[in-house]
Chains A and B, each alone.
Chain A
Amino acid sequence: DTAVSQTPKYLVTQMGNDKSIKCEQNLGHDTMYWYKQDSKKFLKIMFSYNNKELIINETVPNRFSPKSPDKAHLNLHINSLELGDSAVYFCASSQDPSGGPGTGELFFGEGSRLTVL
């Protein structure tokens, strides 16, 4: 079984459309994340949820809305897609969000490559 699974793996769409990416983890972790990786491989955190509550919300356009129906799922909905949204979006999970020693072992999904035309 895949520990962190994302769907779809590839998404090609037109500017102005709305799309969603789903993420599920079966590791029993309390915290889930969305990261964006641009064409130069640079990774930046977008959101983090702990037990369905938002704990990190970086400077992200409000066209991006995460939703966590339960602690095993964190979905990402994007409204009014723009060319600059083209990227690979990674979902991740971890056990401990507190930032203490040992924190930082994130388990990543395989990524969802979004192409906006």
Chain B
Amino acid sequence: GNSVTQMEGPVTLSEEAFLTINCTYTATGYPSLFWYVQYPGEGLQLLLKATKADDKGSNKGFEATYRKETTSFHLEKGSVQVSDSAVYFCALSSGTSYGKLTFGQGTILTVHP
């Protein structure tokens, strides 16, 4: 079956630090990969996505590259802000899943001034 594994959290950084949140997956077929973000007290919202190998998704300064050879989709940002404090979820959707997303366990990010 499909599964997503994220790095253990929580992650605490100072403002302007470099961020990496690791994500690896197992899936049948050729999944689409996603990062969702959940700000405090809110629902999840799509941050970025990639639908095929070597695609790079990017949004709001965040980037992730679909690496089929390492089955990874690591999230990066060069300089984090306090407003980036949130829970980040890696997820995948495969061709047989009828739109069902399989989520990783989430990584809590806290950015201090």
Contacts and interface: CB of A to CB of B under 8 A. Distances in A.
Given A31-B99, A40-B106, A99-B94, 10 more contacts: A33-B100, A90-B44, A92-B43, A92-B44, A96-B99, A100-B95, A104-B99, A108-B45, A109-B43, A110-B42
A61 interface: no
Given A40-B105, A43-B106, A109-B43, A48 B100 contact: yes
B32 A106 contact: no
Interface in B88-103: 89, 91-101, 103
Interface in A74-114: 90, 92, 94, 96-111
A111 B49 CA distance: 23
Interface string A36-70: 00001111110010100001100000000000000
Interface residues of B, number: 30
Contacts of A45: 100-101
Nearest to B44: A108
B43 A90 contact: yes
A43 B89 contact: yes
Interface string B72-113: 000000000000000101011111111111010110100000
B93 A103 contact: yes
A90 B101 CA distance: 13
Interface of B: 32, 34, 36, 38, 41-46, 49, 51-52, 87, 89, 91-101, 103, 105-106, 108
Interface of A: 4, 31, 33, 40-45, 48, 50, 55-56, 90, 92, 94, 96-111
A110 B98 contact: no
Contacts of A101: 32, 51-52
